[in-house]
Chain A
Amino acid sequence: MAEKEKRKILVVDDEITVCKSIRQAILSEDQEVDMALSGEEALAKDRERRYDLVITDLMMPGISGLDLLREIKAAHPEVKVVMITGYPTIKTAVESIKLGAFDYIPKPFTPAELRALVGRALKQAETEPGLEATAVEAKIPAGYYYLIGHTWLKLETSNYGLVGVTHDFLRSVGIITHLELPKIGDALSQGEVCAKITDANRFQHRIWSPASGRVIEVNTALLHDFSLLRRSPYAEGYLFKIDLVALEEDLKGLLQAK
């Protein structure tokens, strides 16, 4: 691993403390971390050197996180971009995934959460450097709605739907050591945590709910056999059944497989 070229990460946030904290959290032997305090600075740095991963705040004065995402994706589509969001921008975060962001992480977060995400992003960058969205979609059954790189929603009626994890997310996680599912009656919002997967490195990965509603049924079979997830991510490996309350709104943040 020492021979291996260090991964280059750029952290963008208008607050230096946050930048520094993030940098400290993810700085390691394998990873080089640069900081930029604005979108402008980030673009300048991006032109100077090639980054494997850009972690950027969504809400910044001047060039916003979304603008930065567009620019970077336009220049280097293979660069993974992770968005940091405050809660009010969660809709924007979901939207950013549609625009090509790898994932997002809501503030505040722990180093572990960040590391998990970073690890997942880098892993994917390594394994599928030029993965196209269409390629991912090809594996998702037609008619399924999905939140890119995360979860899918299969409508049973206009009120109920099944929720599961996309295969590409599972791949980026690797070996599953633990699965945390929601409880019946839990209220979920689109883009918020609905389940957590712990990998072999004890990184906990958060899974975003594709829709808003209440959990009415949980696929407890999963808890006994995690392999179900991998074997049948779009059928028996579903996570839970949801009572949908804002489907129309939720669908705006999702894509539908053809």
Chain B
Amino acid sequence: MPRLSFFRNKNCFKLFLNLPLRTKFILSFLVVIGFGGLVTLFFGTRLEHRTIFSLAQAKVRHDLDSARTVYQEKINDIRDIVQLNAIRDSIQRALLSQDRQLLLRQLGRIRQEFKLDLLNVVDGQGIVLLRTRNPETYGDDFSSDPIISKALKGEIASGTGIVSREALLREGKDLASQAYIKFIPTPRATPKAEDHEENGLMLLAAAPVWDSQGKVAGVLYGGLLLNRNYGIVDRVKDIVFKGERYKGKEIGTVTIFQHDLRISTNVTDEFGERAIGTRASQEVAETVLNRGEPWIGRAFVVSHWYIAAYEPIRDVTGAIIGMLYVGMLEKPYIDLRNRVMLTFTGLAGLCAAILLVILSSITSTIINPLQGMVQATQKIAQGELNHKVAIDWRDEIGQLAESFNRMTENLKAANENLIQWSKTLEKKVEERTRELREMQDYLIQSEKLASLGKMAAGIAHEINNPLTSILINAHLLLEKLAKTEKKDEFYENLSLIAEETARCSQIVRGLLEFARQSPPQKDFTDINDLLERTVTLLENKASFQNIKIIKNFEPNLPLIRLDRSKIQQVFWNLMVNACEAMPKGGQLTIGTRLAANKQAIEVSFMDNGVGIPAENLHKIFDPFFTTKASGTGLGLAICYGIIQQHQGLIEVRSEVGRGTVFTLILPLETKNNQITGGTING
């Protein structure tokens, strides 16, 4: 079963599964149709074959019967001739008187008239009295001949017999040479040592000639040599097959075999000559000649296949001496069969084709929507969520399509939600990342400040003692120099030492200021008032007279707990920085407001000064970072520390050439001992 073996192979099965649905459908149908067709064809062919060939065989058997009848009739003809002449008075008399001339006159004419090959007379002892064909030869004994001996006993005898070459020669050289047939090598024939046949096969009949006393006075016997005599075979052909031809070839053929040798036939060879001299196949010869059974079946005769029937020819003693054959050309039957089969196959094919068309249109109604769905899913998979499956009938596929469209809509909605959500998420992540980064920066800065503070305190304390010694000794030396003549020589150097030591002392002071981590003393404060007071101080400072100060204070801010001294220092530092950033004058805008979340107060200082380059922006809160010629670089670091102590934040935004904004975010509620981003941003 092709289907089973196909599925038995797992890979093939997989291959099959991977095929498109339409192909699968069609393949399956093809397999079913093919299988059905093949089975039908197989059995149909066999049935048809059997029917056609059994019909053909029945016909050929019947034809063989006809042939035998014709054959037998021919024998009967000869018998009739000899019988009728045997009872003629003139013949009786001539025989009794042994008047050979008279016999010859009368019988010679009859032989010629009836075209007998021999018509002889023997006397009562079987001695040849006259050969009408060869009157010169007579006197030989024929009494042992089975037919003649029968006739000598008073019976009319007839049949077929083998006539030896000697006997033929006595009848005439021409008859012997008519009988002589050289073998033509035939494939599948029984191998034989001889290469020719010199004896002849004859139809013979003998009738006794009575004397007046009722004794057999002699025998009249006639014969017809079958070798190269085509009368019988052609007559059978004419009667049975009526000369029908198929594609220029005789349909029916009849052959008389002497043993297995064709001696009379209308089977032709490839040149159209009668195939005299060829021999029957060994298989046929075995069956018919040796076993005496008839043979019916396909036979390869000379050059074509025939549906053939053979039967043995026996002599009067019953010995098989030859065969009678009738054959019908197989080709017409084959062609008929082929035609039938072709018609059958054609019809089957047509049916299959029609089925396929119907099938493909049916599968189309199933598969096209499915394909549409597949395309739709592919499009959806590619992100085209607007795609719809356009199927509007109400079978399962229609319902599926409808569900599918609904699903797509839901998917689209979900996707939109997801996009929206991911956008929000992205924003949140960004926000959180920024907060975290700020927190991290803040923590780093805090840690940096804390450790620097500790170090600074340590350094300051350790440096103070040597500084004291240096300062004192430098001054002592200066005092001593002042009293001597050589005042100028080292005075300047020493002065420098003293001055620079004083500067060191200032730096140390700054460091200690920065390092001083005394806990803030917090009181409830009106931040606007505190700012106002600080601004007043600034306004009185002569060096900043060309700076315009704008106050954007939000009224009625809640009181906030803070260390006024420290926060004021921050305000002061930021304002002084802002003013110093505007050496040619400018505008300082100071603003306060309640943070959006009402959890903190924001204080901003905006100048339109020189600005801070981006690369410096993250360094400004580092201790000792300064861009001013005369600065310790601690101002902003101290501010940072103070704001940190208040759990607040300092933000800075700046643009070179445009200005800088410092914003302090001071939480209204602070948690003890906790400096966290949450508090700062909360």
Q: Are B461 and A21 interface neighbours, CB within 8 A?
A: no
Cβ contact within 8 Å between B537 and A185: yes
Give the number of residue pairs across the A-B interface with Cβ within 8 Å: 107
User: In the docked arrangement, what's the CA distance between A108 and B564, Å?
Assistant: 30
Pairwise interchain contact A246-B563, C-beta atoms closer than 8 A: yes
Q: Tell whether, in the assembled complex, residue B536 and residue A21 are in contact, meaning their CB atoms are under 8 Å apart.
A: no
Residues of chain A contacted by B116 (CB below 8 angstroms)? none
A44 at interface, CB cutoff 8 A: no
List of A residues within 8 angstroms of B509 by Cβ? 87
Give A17 to B466 CA distance when docked, in angstroms.
Answer: 8
Selected contact of A111 from candidates B461, B476, B565, CB within 8 Å: B476
- Chain B CB within 8 A of A30 CB: no
Q: How far is the CB of B454 from chain A (nearest CB, A)?
A: 12
**Residue pair A109, B521 in contact (C-beta under 8 Å):** no
Name the one of B460, B468, B469, B540 contacting A184, with C-beta atoms under 8 angstroms.
B540
**Cross-chain contact B476 with A245 (CB below 8 angstroms):** no
Is A176 part of the binding interface, using a Cβ–Cβ cutoff of 8 Å? no
In the bound complex, residues from chain B placing their C-beta under 8 Å from that of A195 are none
Q: Is A257 an interface residue (CB 8 A)?
A: no
CB nearest neighbor in B for A105: B468
Q: CA separation between A13 and B469, bound complex, in Å?
A: 12
- A187 at interface by CB-CB < 8 Å: yes
Which of B465, B473, B476, B523 has the most chain A CB atoms closer than 10 A to its own CB? B465
Interface set, chain A 1-55, CB cutoff 8 A to B: 13, 15, 17-18, 20-22, 24-25
The yes or no answer to A88 lying at the interface (CB within 8 A) is yes
Residues of B within 8 A of A88 (CB): 457, 460-461, 512, 515-516
Q: Could you say which residues of chain A place their CB within 8 Å of the CB of B679?
A: none
A111-B472 contact, Cβ under 8 Å, with A87-B509, A245-B564, A246-B521: yes
B555-577: which have CB < 8 Å to A?
A: 563-566, 568-569, 572
Contacting residues, chain A, for B469 (C-beta < 8 A): 15, 17-18, 20-21
Q: Does B302 contact A (CB under 8 A)?
A: no
Q: Mark B657-676, 1 if CB is under 8 A from A, else 0.
A: 00000000000000000000
Alpha-carbon gap, A187 to B642, bound state (A): 16
Report which of B508, B533, B565 forms a contact with A212, defined as CB distance below 8 A.
B565
- Nearest-neighbour CB distance to chain B for A134, whole angstroms, equals 30
Query: Is chain B's binding surface mostly helix, strand, loop or mixed?
Result: helix
A24 touches which one: B476, B523, B540, B564 (CB < 8 A)?
B476
Chain B, 485-506, contact with A by CB distance < 8 Å: what is the 0/1 string? Answer: 0000000000000100100010
| Complexed CA–CA distance, A214 and B539 (Å) | 13
A100 to B553, CA, bound (A): 48
Distance (whole angstroms) from the CB of A209 to the closest CB of chain B: 12
Q: Which residues of A contact B572 (CB under 8 A)?
A: 185, 187, 214
A255 contacts B by Cβ under 8 Å: no
Closest chain B residue, CB of each to CB of A84: B468
Whether a CB of chain A sits under 8 angstroms from the CB of B127 is: no
Q: How far is the CB of A255 from chain B (nearest CB, A)?
A: 20
Quick one: which of A184-235 are within 8 Å of B by CB? 184-185, 187, 212-216
Complex Cα distance, B564 from A249, in Å, reads: 11
Known: A87-B460, A87-B512. A24 touches B565 (CB 8 A): no
What residues of chain A lie closer than 8 Å to B3, measured between beta carbons? none
Indicate whether B479 reaches chain A with its CB closer than 8 angstroms: yes
**Complex-state Cα separation, A6 to B505, whole angstroms:** 33
B626 within 8 A of A: no
A127 interface contact, C-beta 8 A = no
Q: Which residues of A contact B476 (CB under 8 A)?
A: 21, 24-25, 111
Residues of A within 8 A of B (CB): 13, 15, 17-18, 20-22, 24-25, 59, 86-88, 107-112, 114, 159, 184-185, 187, 212-216, 243, 245-246, 248-249
Q: Which 9 A-B pairs have the closest CB atoms?
A: A245-B565, A246-B565, A21-B472, A87-B512, A108-B468, A108-B467, A107-B464, A245-B564, A185-B537
With A18-B465, A87-B516 given, can you name 9 additional A-B contacts, CB distance below 8 Å?
Answer: A17-B466, A18-B469, A88-B512, A109-B468, A110-B475, A185-B538, A185-B572, A216-B533, A249-B565
21 A-B pairs with CB atoms under 8 Å apart are A18-B469, A21-B468, A24-B476, A86-B460, A87-B508, A87-B509, A87-B512, A107-B464, A108-B464, A108-B470, A109-B472, A110-B471, A110-B498, A114-B472, A159-B533, A185-B541, A185-B572, A187-B572, A245-B564, A245-B566, A246-B565
